[in-house]
A = this chain, B = another copy of it.
Amino acid sequence: MSAPRSSPTPAPSSYKDVPTRSVSVDGVDFVYRQLGPEGDGVPLILLHHLTAVLDNWDPRVIDGLAARRRVITFDNRGVGASGGSTPDTIEAMARDAVLFIRTLGFEHVDLLGLSMGGFIAQVIAAEEPQLVRKVILAGTGPAGGPGIDKVTALTLRDVLKGFLTRKDPKQFLFFTDTEHGRREARAFLERLKERTDRRDKAISLTSFRAQLKAIHRWGLQPPADLSRIRQPVLVANGESDRMVPSENTLNLAARLPRGELVPLYPDAGHGGIFQFHDEFVARALAFLEARPDT
């Protein structure tokens, strides 16, 4: 009763239509989505932010990257529709992500980590130098970076503010409070609604709390030894990031042995790579495709 293997199915060309797949990682189902050419190129694994599930990636960023790279988004353990319990350290989240990557059969990947995903990407790059070829870090900072221990209080405050003002708190957390920033926020929030079918499950309160704890610990750690990260790293952010203050981005670029800084996006915050999706995609692709590639 199996379908013929050769039956051609047209590949979905956009993130809003791509099916959600599932893979069993040591007995726990991890959900993921894959888009872009499945050639010999090194796949790009995306690591997401606090509370985010598959549907929180800006489809413009995914579609832009997937025009030339194989892109894989996933929910880490306990997040969204993935099974298991979310651990409360960044290091354990990194181990889970590595398990997922190896389960898919990859021995060489690029990483793009946003915010908390950027913390996780740094740990993977340092711990698994053979696995990771290049890294892109957005809206993130090193362990012990300034202001990262304030993420919990700021998030709770802005979620309450969003409730009281009937606005999506991501507007305050990801964008600047300027006329331009508010307009960009609205456009971004509309893009997140483009996928209407087979959307991901929301993160649970339990997993959210575990993530907050992990981020808090990361913020309180002694300054990380970034010289352990030997890969080329592209670092990007808005100039006015309130969540992971933008000075963390400059700090990463200055201390990473092979760091490369994208000039901070003007009138942009934590969601700078979403706000400047065209510019970011072009820069990220150029970085990933530059030679030498290791």
Contact = CB atoms under 8 A, between A and B. Distances in A.
A157 B202 contact: no
Interface residues on A, range: 10 to 19
Contacts of A163: 51, 159, 162-163, 169
Interface centre among A159, A169, A203 (most CB of B within 10 A): A159
Nearest to A199: B166
A149 to B, nearest CB: 19
A160 B157 contact: no
Contact of A205 (B160, B203, B205): B160
B160 A208 contact: yes
Nearest to A170: B163
Contacts of A205: 157, 160-161, 164
Nearest to A164: B202
Contacts of A51: 163-164
Interface string A156-200: 110111111110010000000000000000000000000000000
Q: How many copies does the complex hold?
A: 2
Nearest to A51: B164
Contact of A164 (B156, B157, B165, B208): B208
Nearest to A163: B159
Contacts of A162: 163
Interface string A70-90: 000000000000000000000
Contacts of A157: 205
Interface of A: 51, 156-157, 159-166, 169, 202-205, 208
Across the A-B interface, the 6 shortest Cβ-Cβ residue pairs: A165-B202, A159-B163, A164-B202, A164-B203, A161-B205, A51-B164
10 contacts: A51-B163, A156-B156, A156-B160, A157-B205, A160-B205, A160-B208, A163-B169, A164-B208, A165-B202, A166-B202
